Amino acid sequence: MFDRLEDLLIRFEELLGELNEPSVTANQERFRKLMKEQSDLTPIVETYKAYKQSKQDIEDGLMMLEEESDEDMREMLKEELSDAKKRVEELEQELKILLLPKDPNDDKNVIVEIRAGAGGDEAALFAAEMYRLYVKYAEGQRWKVETLGVDEIGIGGMKEVSFMISGQGAYSRLKYESGVHRVQRVPETESGGRIHTSTITVAMMPEVEEVDVVIDDKDIRIDVMRASGNGGQCVNTTDSAVRLTHYPTGIVVYSQTEKSQLQNKAKAFALLRAKLYDIEQQKAHDAEAELRRSQIGTGDRSEKIRTYNFPQGRVTDHRIKLTLYRLDSIMNGDIQELIDNLIAADQAAKLAKMNEN
């Protein structure tokens, strides 16, 4: 590990030199690439430098302890040595985490698809509430939210909704939300006060570029039509809605949120690319079953990951056995504690796997 860290330290110094060269600053594409590499290396290098400094502090402290005869000073030096040793252990753990293989999609924007599952209208109502939860969380992170398509029911529910969240590291945090979310509560339409269980599925997919997923023209049918529903602002008075049918997979995507047919077409293709990329990722995870089991939240879409129990005011994440009794704030987008715990569990699983090897 430390040989690799020394190599990264050398590479970081080289980057600083390259970024000051006039030929590099004149080439914007190369400059951006080097800046990205420097940005990725900075937390590792800073932590490694702090680690080396703490190791040096221990050596200096031991030398001073040998030479010191005053008992009070010796006690103080021993305390400082103890602190430095704890700091070294903490920094070594941080370095192990920083050196874990990075998900290449972590820096990407995320395309979210929420579908109502079992439970009829109640599932559709919960789908709409989960859509608002993620929008509020994104707003709290100052990320941009853009609706791609929505299929609403008259009572305020959503059979299906897809939207893009754009922001630094959006996928890295939200990828753990993929799976089946279960709600337990008494529906407003239930006169007997019985608790019903409904489900929705959430798919968190990284936004992918055209070069990452090539779609052959012969594999696609493009239909344009008049948008349905409460359009307003000319949305449902022109043939602006776009539906794409992908023959090889049978995937159908639909976008009608924009007035412009071109904009809806671009959104539909972005959603289709994300879905096709997601299928390939699922195949890769299935082929690496052992790896998938060692990770949190990157597995099967059919996995029941979380339960929202309204009568008890609790949310339970089944993957990490975490229960929080603050359902109201979570439904208002306050999911950072859940995400932090999932990231920690994922890192711990990967570290354990790395230590086995």
Domain assignments of the chain as residue spans, ordered by start = 2-98, 110-349
The strand pairing partners of 336, in sequence order, are none
Segment holding 232, helix H or strand E: none
What is the predicted pLDDT for the residue at 357?
60
User: Virtual CA dihedral for 220, 239, 163, 333, nearest 10 degrees?
Assistant: -160
- In whole angstroms, what is the distance from residue 106 CA to residue 146 CA? 19
Alpha helical stretches, state H, 99-119: none
- In whole angstroms, what is the distance from residue 140 CA to residue 127 CA? 20
What is the predicted pLDDT for the residue at 238?
59
- Reading phi first (left if > 0) and then psi (alpha if -120 to 50, else beta), residue 333 is in left
The strand pairing partners of 308, in sequence order, are 183, 315
Cα separations (Å) of 52 from 14, 38, 274, 351?
20, 20, 43, 22
- In whole angstroms, what is the distance from residue 194 CA to residue 192 CA? 6
- Reading phi first (left if > 0) and then psi (alpha if -120 to 50, else beta), residue 119 is in left
Can you list the residues of the chain whose pLDDT is less than 70? 189-191, 211, 227-238, 285-302, 356-357
**What architecture does CATH give domain 110-349?**
2-Layer Sandwich (3.30)
- Among candidates 8, 3, 5, which has minimal Cα distance to 51? 5
Do the domains at 2-98 and 110-349 have one common CATH topology?
no
Exposure pattern of 197-218 as b/e (b: 16+ CB <10 Å)? ebbbbbbbbbbbeeeebeeeee
- In whole angstroms, what is the distance from residue 67 CA to residue 165 CA? 60
State the angle between helix axes of 28-67 and 71-98 in degrees (0 to 180), rounded to the nearest 10: 150
What is the predicted pLDDT for the residue at 288?
58
Over residues 229-269, the pLDDT tens digits come to 544 444 444 578 888 889 888 888 888 877 888 888 888 88
Q: Number of C-alpha atoms within 13 angstroms, CB side, residue 251?
A: 18
pTM: 0.74
What is the predicted pLDDT for the residue at 334?
95
Single-letter residue type at 162: S
Mean pLDDT (the chain, rounded)? 84
CATH topology of domain 2-98: Methane Monooxygenase Hydroxylase; Chain G, domain 1 (1.20.58)
